[in-house]
Every structure is written in structure tokens, then in C-alpha cells.
Amino acid sequence: MKCIIHRRAEFSASHRYWLPELSESENIERFGPCTNTPGHGHNYVLYVSMEGELDEYGMVLNLSDVKQVIKREVTSQLNFAHLNDVWEEFQTILPTTEAIAQAIWHRLAPHLPITNIQVFEHPELWADYEGNSMSAYLTISTHFSAAHRLALPHLTLEQNSEIYGKCARVHGHGHNYHLEVTIQGDIDARTGMLADLVAFQNAVNEVVVEPFDHTFLNYDIPYFAEVVPTAENIVVHIRDLLDAPIRSIGARLHKVKLIESPNNSAEVYGLPLKEAAVKYQQEPATARV
């Protein structure tokens, strides 16, 4: 029987975004404060996923051996290092989160049966790489606070209460929603980016966070005047809102996850390319952010 196991590791390192073929003003325009000399640092968290058959001892791999491989091939080399200088890969590609994940994959693949490399630059930004050429995933997390009421307009309060319980109360209730948005794209061989991170963050802020934050969803967001704002319906609507803006920055929306509370979350994957293209063509121009 096959099983996937995960091993966590950490390293602290600095990096700088700077392309010598660009002028100082062009670098600053493109990378902002990340161009500052000599760079800036992060406490990186690494998750290595591995798949294999269970052996007679009930293990896929001996985790002590895995720990030593990760230390030898990755963390001992990257910990307290300046990433631009430590590995030859980063002489030609900038050490972005997604480029680091890709580089770690290639360092570990000869030694471990890896299925995914996940690198957290900080708790609100991480990348996944699965060994698919230049293709990678980049995720940002953010939050907004909003109120909602779960009720169908054609039902009585008693009937809605039977379906939605306390969530049907007339004055509604609120949540601090945690939102994770994952995009997919090809890592640029020079910049190390699958999409402009600032443009990605701006799209999520402008299309979702700012319009939704500190609202009563049923009354302030037109879509939810007719649709019950369950976590499921909210995350589907967010997915639909973000599809076109994410494509406009050269990436594909892979997944959206909405955490309503520590006990309740919902997630949906991006529209298939053909379905997204048809939907986009059918929408009025004013709906395309």
C-alpha cells in the first residue's frame, strides 16, 4: 500500500531581487524594496512530501535518514546564507519562493521519492513545486471581516431556522474570514517568478478584500442579495471574481480556500481553461476587472 509522508525543515536566509541587465530605476520599479542592498531575510519553512510503499516496519522511509538527506542537500547549505550566492542556480535566476522550491526539488529528487516541495517564505506567502518542468504554484493568504445571514427569502424564519439553525437569525452574525488564493504558471527563467507578486496581491485586494471587508454580505454585495452567503457560495463567487484578473497577470487561478472559522472551511478549484474562456467571452466588458 502506498502512502505519502511529509517532513518539515527550516532555514533562515537572505536574498535580493536585482537584475544587472536592468537599470537601477527599472529594478526598483519592478521589484520595489526587494532591491535594497544587501538584501533582506526570511525564516523559511520547508515541507518535503514523499510517496512510497509501506515496509514491514510500517514506514515509507526512515525519517532519521530523510532528515539527514534534507540537512545535507539543503538546509546546511542554505541556513544563514545569502541565497543569490550560495547555489549556482541563483546566478541565473532570482531566488523567489517558487524558484527556491524548484531548486530544492532538483537537489532532493536524486535521493528521495518526492512528490511535492512546499516553501513558506512567511505565513502569508508560499510556493509548491511538483517536478513539472517550469510549472509551479504560488499562494497568498489574506483576510477580511464580514457579517452574513443564512436564509432563503421565500421561507419563514422558522423554516430557515430548521435549515440553517442560529445562522438564520434576523440580524446575522460575523466572521473573520481567512482567504487563501493559489495561482499556477510557469516560472520565468530569469526573474524566478510565475507572476508579478505585487500584481497578484493587488488583484486579490481590489477584487475581494476591499469590496468584502467590513460589509454585511447579504446587503452590501449585490450577488448575495439573491444567493445565500454560505462559505461554499462565497468561495465560488470569489473564484469567479478572480478568474479574469489572475489571467490578466499571466497566471491561472488554481484554487481558492475560504476559512470561515477554525471548524469550517470550503475550497474550490479554478475553472477549466475552456469553461473559463467561454465564461469570460459571455461576461459584459464592465464585469472584467
Tell me, yes or no, whether 37 and 121 share the same domain.
yes
Tell me, yes or no, whether 150 and 247 share the same domain.
yes
Tell me, yes or no, whether 3 and 108 share the same domain.
yes
Confidence at residue 284, expressed as pLDDT on a 0 to 100 scale:
43
Tell me, yes or no, whether 194 and 86 share the same domain.
no
Q: What is the DSSP letter of 206?
A: I
Confidence at residue 279, expressed as pLDDT on a 0 to 100 scale:
52
Tell me which residues are annotated as active site: 167, 214, 260
Where b means 16+ CB within 10 Å and e means fewer, 218-251 reads: beebeebeeebbbbebbbbbbbbbbbbbbbebbb
pLDDT tens across 186-202, in order?
A: 999 999 999 999 999 99
Q: What confidence category does residue 280 fall into, taking pLDDT thresholds of 50, 70 and 90? A: very low
pLDDT tens across 152-198, in order?
A: 999 999 999 999 999 999 999 999 999 999 999 999 999 999 999 99
Domain boundary among 96, 116, 131: 131
Domain boundary among 116, 131, 146: 131
Domain boundary among 93, 111, 131: 131
Tell me, yes or no, whether 91 and 220 share the same domain.
no
Q: Beta strands of 54-157 (E only): which ranges?
A: 81-82, 114-122, 125-129, 135-148
User: What CATH code is carried by the domain that includes residue 109?
Assistant: 3.30.479.10
Tell me, yes or no, whether 6 and 26 share the same domain.
yes
Tell me, yes or no, whether 65 and 98 share the same domain.
yes
Tell me, yes or no, whether 124 and 142 share the same domain.
no
- CA 35 to chain CA centroid, Å, is 23
Q: Name the nearest CA neighbour of 120 among 14, 192, 201, 45.
A: 45
d(CA 272, CA 254) in angstroms, rounded, equals: 9
Tell me, yes or no, whether 145 and 255 share the same domain.
yes
pLDDT tens across 92-135, in order?
A: 999 999 999 999 999 999 999 999 999 999 999 999 999 999 99
Q: Total domain count for the chain?
A: 2
Confidence at residue 271, expressed as pLDDT on a 0 to 100 scale:
78
131: left (phi over 0), alpha (psi -120 to 50) or beta: left
Find the domain containing 181 and state its range. Answer: 132-289
Tell me, yes or no, whether 272 and 146 share the same domain.
yes
Confidence at residue 274, expressed as pLDDT on a 0 to 100 scale:
54
- Written as nine digits, the cell of 216 is 454585511
Asked if 261 and 174 count as a contact pair (C-beta separation under 8 A), the reply is no
Tell me, yes or no, whether 251 and 127 share the same domain.
no
pLDDT tens across 237-260, in order?
A: 999 999 999 999 999 999 999 999
% of the chain surpassing 70 pLDDT? 94
